[in-house]
Chains A and B, each alone.
Chain A
Amino acid sequence: MPKLTIDGQTIEVPPGSTVLQACEAAGREIPVFCYHPRLNIAGNCRMCLVELEKSPKPIASCAMPAADGMVIHTDTPVVHKARRGVLELLLINHPLDCPICDQGGECDLQDLTLFYGPDHSRFAENKRPVADKDLGPLISTHMTRCIHCTRCIRFLNEVAGVEELGACARGEHMEITTWIEAALTSELQGNIIDLCPVGALNSKPYEYRARTWELKKTESVDVLDALGCNIRVDSRGNEVMRVLPRLNEAINEEWISDKTRFAYDGLRRRRLDVPMVKRDGKLREASWSEALRAAAERLAGTGPERVAAVVGDLADLESMLLLKELMAALGSPHLDCRQDGAKLGIGPRASWLFNPTIAGIEQADVCLLVGCDPRSEAPVLNARLRKRWRQGGFRVGRIGPPRDLTYPVEELGAGPQTLQEVVGGGIAFAQALRDARAPLVVVGSGAVARPDGAAVLALAASLPVQREAWNGFAVLHRAASRVGGLELGILPGPGGRDVAGILHGVEAGEIEVVYLLGADEIEASRLRGAFVIYQGHHGDRGAAAADIVLPGAAYTEKHATYVNTEGRPQRGKLAVFPPGEAKEDWRILRALHDALGLRSDVATLGDVRARIATLAPHLARIDEVTPANWEPLADAGAVDRAPFGYPFDDFYRTDSISRASAVMAECSRLARERRASEATGTHG
């Protein structure tokens, strides 16, 4: 372990550290532009210069390995002069447009110039003109502001794995560009906006909409996939202005997908903001009491065996619990949270969790993807798999149709038969799994959302992926509500129907009333024969079938708990109020209890949470994963021959919020065009 002296303080750092890391360990802040702890070192901005004794000139600390006996000074006239010089040089070609720049207020160049920079410029010549680039609908560019740190290029090359940006030309003429003026295609591209230390790359939808300091910042969690990425919701007045990632090493590090970041314009569109009741075949506005009364009358006046409820993918834990209690009080066993028909929730808890945890991916050495397309189902998790692959010694096999995941994948086969072969040890990959130190098998939600899903699950669970202190069995969900629902038992009771059974029951005239808690991913047209009560926030598929609409709150508009695919409960927070007369969902269900005259002893959100804590104590341990004990699954019959399919063809439009988003619609259109031109070979 090299031992260095930094500003008189002796410090020992792990081998392989840089001088910069050593300085940080010694509590010294070194200004940087190009250096980023999650990207390769470029060493091209020179902002991090420090003085190294016996070195004739200052050194770039980010690129210099820490060596034994180095004596470093970070606070000397030489260092200050060097920083001033670097900043003066960077500012030569940087426009003075901070007053109209979106980055203003959160700009590294602005901040560092303030602290370390010169107070005037000696450069009287013309600044360098650079044409702005067209990077597509998500990122706007102001390339005169670029300081050529190449963070954006390195992110796309390394983390996203979609090499599309480059530094073209040379010297003073160098420009960051795609060269061909084509939209970027990575579904993680929005992160380069955050990485850009200046205002060269900005969010296009947010452009010129607000100044950073007038935004209210609310720390929350994302619900547009099942990872529960940590986000910050920035709002002004009652409007969400943008969504940014929040650091969480266990889940998303500091990345989020473009859907998480950019779908928020969908929160303003197609909203259900008044209660509605169908009269004369048309939904008409009603008061809350009318709507609740109408719903209560219908629910109370129908035999419990003829009432059913379906929970959607964005539902929160609190409202799910109240719905379950409502159904129990009514006496109906027909309740399900698995809109896609996934055969999960029957076995032990470990059979539906991402047991090794997301961060645990980095421990794995062999990975088998079973009917799972992590890139469209959870792009941030895919980035973690890619990160693991880049570290070397990681073998990935797949059972399911080929799709580009940005790292090499061994194609093993298309369907359950191949899985059987792997279990039987018949193919080489099976041996790799057996020999692995920390084998990982990721079962996609598509692989179990089929008639033989339970058999597929049992088969996958029989793979040899258990080790001492390592459970490599992982289910990758795509619905934010799903694990919470399974843990709360939002499942058919004894004699109850699942989603397919409910739909079938409606068609057969056996189910009369269906309560949809934000359920938009079922074939709503098959509900025509039933009386549908829809509680949710968007006028999407479910509301289209409704006879009563109870307007709820979207994830940015309520305090609520979500359990991610690892089984980690996290709290989302209210950033803005629900629009119009819409209400937080737990309140709606609470009011419905009252309207039905049901005894309910919950008065506050705290009461609901206390109830959850009693029923499932591990769901009250916020931000923590409570590991599940592993038990082998019971044999669940035979698998059939059908190949696995993936749930999404269109990553950008997967739920009622992203379907309402114009930005996502544009991304989806571009992606479709791209696929079509690739298919005909006319790309470029």
Chain B
Amino acid sequence: MPAFAFSEANQAEVARIRARYPADRQASAVLPLLHLAQAQHGGWLPRAALDHVADLLGMPRIRVYEVASFYDMFNTEPTGRVQVRVCTTTPCWLCGSDEVVAAARETLGIEVGETTLDGRFFLREFECLGACANAPVMWIDDDFYEDLDGPKARAILEAVKRGEQPVPGPQSGRRGSEPLGGPTTLLRTGE
């Protein structure tokens, strides 16, 4: 099994993260360390990385396997470099996530759960991303794209494909999760 070790830069980060937790509660650092390891290792966690984190924190290895397999944010198998996740839980689905999924499949040319042949994009469905007020939602790497429909999702993915960074957030023009048709309360000020 190929070994895993944190890069020198990340080792400093590891030390910083671990310092947040008392000596007998080091296991609390498992999530940030796994995120760090995953980022360092091209978006997924090989077993060596899981074992390394476990040994570092003095946890039984199986406990780290449980954590890594519990959260969908961790990949335990190689995936594409760019992670495209479309939320398909009920609110998003009611607001048209089917269209978003279809747009993603067509633009990327792959099915859900697959990686493009060049190893660049990985597409998957996700459960509620916690942004239901702005449904439907697509999550690309670290950014949320909200208030989508088919064409908007397509445009975003095309842009990402070209190497651009489309502006994240609601694509409907509203700010944050204020009402779609504009503010409805607190309209008068200073009276």
List the interface of chain A (C-beta within 8 A of B). Answer: 163-170, 178-180, 684
Contact = CB atoms under 8 A, between A and B. Distances in A.
* Chain B interface category by residue count: 10 to 19
Given A169-B69, A179-B69, A163 B51 contact: no
Contacts of A180: 47, 61, 65
Given A169-B69, A179-B69, A163 B63 contact: yes
B62 interface: yes
Interface of B: 1, 47-48, 51, 60-63, 65-66, 69-71
B1 A166 contact: no
A167 B66 contact: yes
Contacts of B71: 170
B62 A164 contact: yes
A166 B51 contact: no
Given A684-B1, A684-B47, A684-B51, A163 B60 contact: yes
A168 B63 CA distance: 9
A170 B70 contact: yes
Contacts of B63: 163, 166
A178 B51 contact: no
B69 A168 contact: yes
Given A166-B65, A170-B70, A179-B65, 9 more contacts: A163-B62, A163-B63, A164-B60, A168-B65, A168-B70, A169-B69, A169-B70, A179-B62, A180-B61
Interface of chain B, helix or strand or loop or mixed?
A: helix
B66 A168 contact: yes
Nearest to A175: B69
B131 to A, nearest CB: 20
Nearest to B71: A170
Contacts of A163: 60, 62-63
Nearest to B51: A684
Contacts of B47: 180, 684
A106 B93 CA distance: 46
* Most B C-beta atoms less than 10 A away, residue of A166, A167, A180: A166
Nearest to A169: B69
Contacts of A178: 62
A167 B70 CA distance: 9
A301 B175 CA distance: 110
Complex A-B, nearest 4 residue pairs according to Cβ-Cβ distance, in ascending order: A163-B60, A179-B65, A168-B69, A166-B62
A178 to B, nearest CB: 7
B113 to A, nearest CB: 13
Given A684-B1, A684-B47, A165 B62 contact: yes
A165 B60 CA distance: 10
13 contacts: A163-B62, A164-B62, A166-B65, A166-B66, A168-B66, A168-B69, A168-B70, A169-B70, A178-B62, A179-B65, A179-B66, A180-B65, A684-B1
* Most A C-beta atoms less than 10 A away, residue of B48, B69, B71: B69
Nearest to A165: B62
B58 to A, nearest CB: 12
A162 to B, nearest CB: 9
A165 B66 CA distance: 9
Nearest to B1: A684
A165 B70 CA distance: 15
A107 B72 CA distance: 35
A307 B70 CA distance: 69
* Most A C-beta atoms less than 10 A away, residue of B1, B47, B62, B71: B62
A165 B61 CA distance: 10
Nearest to B127: A171
Contacts of A164: 60, 62
A168 B51 CA distance: 15
A262 B71 CA distance: 38
Nearest to A156: B62
A178 B69 CA distance: 12
A136 to B, nearest CB: 15
A386 to B, nearest CB: 15
A166 B68 CA distance: 12
Nearest to A164: B62
A165 B47 CA distance: 16
Nearest to B48: A684
Contacts of B61: 180
